[in-house]
Amino acid sequence: MNFLNTLQTAKKENKKLIAVLVDPDKVTVADVKNICHRINNAPVDYLFLGGSTVCNNQTEIIAKEIKKHISKPVVLFPGDYKHLTNCADALLFLNLISGDNPEYLIHQQVKAVPFLLKSKLEVIPTSYILIDGKKETSTIKVSKTTPIPPTNQNLIKDTALAGQYMGHQLVYLEAGSGAHLPVGKPVVNAVYNSVNIPIIVGGGISTQQKINEVHNAGATLVVVGTAFELNSIF
Ligand code: 1GP
């Protein structure tokens, strides 16, 4: 079964999934074996690979090494079309629809096409919605967009619904890496009650309790990055 099918089925059956995010810029080839060992032995379903400020080629180098050691699917979560690699199983084809920067609304996607035409990656159209996590993250700096305040639930759910109307198959609610304020229950709940595509939530989720809260609010998949890097979870 492919990645999107698994998430759709999980949503239907109310199963909850977890991904660990590995930022290729923050690890070396020598770290990879141990990282994969931890993920293989943790209650984790996917390895997400990506970051906003990765040097060219570094994703490919790390992904190649990951593929030697990982027993779980690898999903690309790229900050730039230059980070694409075939050493993965699926690609979140992100559309940053909370902002109005044309680079992330259409230009990056067009630049990705020559690579994708020759690739066997499973490509999943995904709404990417930045929610203010009370931290100036690199995603905000790189994308030059303003996240939506979590209090503006109407705008968040209408944005998510617009993404669904545009044909996106997943919606990713992002508070940003190391967010002080993760995407909270009211926001996840509001989106859950509006869309019928699976919801992914990430940013500042650092404990199993926080993972459970976000799952219970309606997320199908929760992404954990910094807490895994700091060895404080899994
Ligand atoms: C994935 O950006 C997040 O959506 C990762 O955030 O590093 O805070 O877990 P953390």
For a ligand 1 pocket test, name from 177, 222, 231 the mutation site with the most ligand atoms within 8 angstroms of its C-beta: 177
How many structural domains compose the chain?
A: 1
Ligand 1 centre from 178 Cα, in Å?
6
Amino acid making up residue 114: P
Produce one character per residue of 45-82: b if its CB has 16 or more CB atoms within 10 Å, e if not: bbbbbbbbebeeebbbbbbebbbeebebbbbbbbbbbb
What CA–CA distance (Å, rounded) separates 45 from 51? 19
Structural domain harbouring 181: 3-229
The whole-number pLDDT of residue 138 equals 87
ipTM of the complex, rounded to two decimals: 0.97
What CA–CA distance (Å, rounded) separates 106 from 96? 9
Q: What is the pLDDT of residues 105-129, one digit of tens each?
A: 999 999 999 999 999 999 999 999 9
The whole-number pLDDT of residue 55 equals 79
The whole-number pLDDT of residue 102 equals 98
- CATH of residue 86: 3.20.20.390
Ligand 1 binding site (Cβ under 6 Å of any ligand atom): 21, 174, 176-179, 202-205, 223-227
Ramachandran angles phi, psi of 182, nearest 5°: -65, 165
The whole-number pLDDT of residue 1 equals 64
User: Residues at the annotated binding site for sn-glycerol 1-phosphate?
Assistant: 172-178, 203-204, 225-226
Does the pTM exceed 0.95? yes
Ligand 1 centre from 53 Cα, in Å?
14
**Residue whose CA is closest, atom 2 of ligand 1?**
177
Weakly modelled stretches of the chain, pLDDT under 50 = none
Q: Given its phi and psi angles, is residue 176 left (phi above 0), alpha (psi -120 to 50 degrees) or beta?
A: left
In a domain, 234, yes or no: no
The whole-number pLDDT of residue 168 equals 98
